Structure 1
């Protein structure tokens, strides 16, 4: 592999990295395009931030990403007002959803999910099924899922990780949770508008410097990927959702920690075509993979470098790994 190779952010169940479950169920799910509009006293808006929306510059013209990702060209986009979760959805919140609905995630139905190889405990090595092709640091672990994120020997409740972001959730799982909560997944445009925190043309939610005055502002890989992570930012895996300083909109961890699913189908060039609507864009009508944004604790500048606010990634809707989560939005009433 070379530093120009974009594969490292997450592993996929489909294509080269895994097999799909024979079911049309996941393909039949579509993310809601709107919700019942909410006012500030709506119970759904608890722990959410209201954003006024408006026009902003989406994407970047900087040559710092991968051409295959389609980060540019920068373009003016408009989004309507909306509420967005202050934090990524936590294990505690997902636990409440599962207890009330009895929902079974795709990882549980498949019987396995992808775990970063260094996190597999010795007692769980017998549950390792295989490594993901081309990304050997991802291994398929039998019994790994949102509750047992590194395999049967781990447990988010017993390991005191209820305030950490839920992981091992597919896009389909995220949509199911959002629907239960009366919310929806953000469009890619809404996500970037929120992540920027009102800062125009900056690389990160706080500015252009990764560590302003030496301060760690996000949970990413420290050291040499994938051989050594020093944990200098305080964490090797996920961090609690309220770690580090928020952006100027009051949102936490819109860079690093876990990837966040967006509603849109992924395309590297749809935004350059006449079909692209700059007013509340929702992406192409069809595709093979869904958009992920924000980067994760495995991102490093020498490899994926996708923890910038303009950076993009993708995965199939049925995929789940130990570094993918999500947050939700609600449409806002006009005030």
Structure 2
């Protein structure tokens, strides 16, 4: 059996390239060298005057919030990012899908205080018998050109390179791993035993939506996710403020060190790789891990020009549900929805999508070991 079925890995590659890194062709070092790209921690940002004050709703429902959830008041805010680059050696343009800043209003709602965990997802699976997409054998109908021996279950797993590599070839640190799924995040020999409080990974959009429906919840819209992540603050670069490391301390599980070399993740934030939930201070609404750790599915289709469409209307968008169709000119055949928040692999060398207003995207039936989700519930 082939270890890396080409047809399947190619499909996953499209997903990986669009998850966080956007326009990879823009991230080519000036010199063809195996040295790491050296970048600064703080990206270039536009004028803060593009952000107008957040106006929170005053109403709060009576009674306690559902277990494990917090009340998000909703209201009107400025959505998007004024970052001109991702600290990728000041290469401009890679965050353009998060511009321009535009006004949005959302109603109040409840939100999971952390990402859905292995323990919570396991309860869902035991109650329903649900089988995730990563656990399902691909079919000839879905991949007519694949040979039978290549139709095997699996998912994408981050695999550090043995030495320094150019960052314009992501295939050097990702592999398609047969048998990788939410129960076996690194492959069939791995386990989640003792990791019930870690975020569940290797879930695709329909897996997340199925869990949300079973739990009596739903996936958040992109606008709801960003309103909640901002925690009532206006225009901050990060969930916690404008300094990546207040008082020299990391506030999220992201990557430090020489990316993506094996054993070169320094773990200055306290973790090398994925972390349990709730390891850092919550934001202003009591939400944990709204930056880093794992990417989070939201309900919106991904469209590169959606924000511009909203801004050009000249109106405050009320409870926007995302575009009517997906649109990514760099990858037009792949059906994508939005991801938010970044992951433990985000780094100032390659991807700083832990910046609160920036966006990710993913093919809806592709999974990886740095993608999870959280849910919301209407009042």
CA RMSD of aligned residues (A): 2.2
Aligned residues: 287
Change (3 A) 1:323 1:69: farther
Residue deviations 1:222-241, cap 9 Å, x none?
Answer: 11211221111111121111
Hey, what does 1:283 align to over in structure 2? 322
Hey, what does 2:157 align to over in structure 1? 115
Hey, what does 1:5 align to over in structure 2? none
Change (3 A) 1:97 1:247: same
Is 1:206 equivalent to 2:236 in the alignment?
Answer: no
Residue deviations 1:192-237, cap 9 Å, x none?
Answer: 0001111111011110001100112100001121122111111112
Hey, what does 2:42 align to over in structure 1? none
Give structure 1 regions of 4+ aligned residues with deviation exceeding 2 angstroms: 11-18, 38-42, 64-69, 133-136, 274-277
Alpha-carbon contact 1:258-1:294 (below 8 Å) kept: yes
Q: Select the structure of larger CA radius of gyration.
A: 2
Change (3 A) 1:12 1:85: farther
Alpha-carbon contact 2:84-2:96 (below 8 Å) kept: no
TM-score (norm 2): 0.72
Report deviation, 1:135. 2.8
Equivalent in 223, 229, 233 of residue 189 of structure 1: 223
Q: In structure 2, what is the Cα distance between the partners aligned to 1:212 and 1:14?
A: 37
Change (3 A) 1:153 1:201: same
Is 1:329 equivalent to 2:376 in the alignment?
Answer: yes
Alpha-carbon contact 1:13-1:316 (below 8 Å) kept: no
TM-score (norm 1): 0.81
Hey, what does 1:298 align to over in structure 2? 345
Report deviation, 1:305. 1.1
Q: In structure 2, what is the Cα distance between the partners aligned to 1:231 and 1:15?
A: 27
Residue deviations 1:270-301, cap 9 Å, x none?
Answer: 22126977111111112220000000000001
Is 1:56 equivalent to 2:52 in the alignment?
Answer: no
Name the SS for the 1:315 alignment partner.
strand
Q: Gaps spanning 5+ residues in structure 1: where?
A: 1-10, 19-37, 120-132
Report deviation, 1:52. 1.1
Q: In structure 2, what is the Cα distance between the partners aligned to 1:114 and 1:259?
A: 14
Q: In structure 1, what is the Cα distance between the partners aligned to 2:180 and 2:63?
A: 38
Alpha-carbon contact 1:112-1:141 (below 8 Å) kept: yes
Is 1:142 equivalent to 2:190 in the alignment?
Answer: no
Q: In structure 2, what is the Cα distance between the partners aligned to 1:180 and 1:40?
A: 24
